[in-house]
Homo-oligomer: A and B are copies of this chain.
Amino acid sequence: MISSDVIRGYNDTIILSLLLEQPSYGYEISKRIRELSGGDYIIKETTLYSAFNRLEQNGYTESFYGNETGGKRRTYYRITEKGRTYYQEKCDEWHLIQKIMKPFVQF
């Protein structure tokens, strides 16, 4: 039983999937999403940063400052164990949604 409120919550999953590889920060995440989607998906800045806040509030990520010398300091995000679990659950949910949608969409 899933809710209909789907992809809408999948930006968090997308971000977590990238943090799974390595800790990262806003701009890099944004670029990776654009690249990996072949330019088909460009996440909005406000959407991205509000996802970061939500992720951290839920304990799915932890943030820390990079040690860049000079320049604006970056906030890096690292996925937590709780975040990994959540990511797996969302992947499962995504597969279910695809299965559910199948009878309703044409080729």
Contact = CB atoms under 8 A, between A and B. Distances in A.
Interface in A74-91: 88, 90-91
Decide if the interface of chain A is mainly helix, strand, loop or mixed: helix
B104 A14 contact: yes
Contact of A104 (B8, B17, B105): B17
Copies in the complex: 2
Contact of A11 (B4, B42, B97): B4
Contact of A8 (B1, B7, B18, B100): B7
Contacts of A106: 17, 88, 91
Contacts of A100: 37, 40-41
A22 to B, nearest CB: 15
A90 to B, nearest CB: 8
B4 A10 contact: yes
Nearest to A37: B100
A67 interface: no
Interface in A36-51: 36-37, 40-44, 47
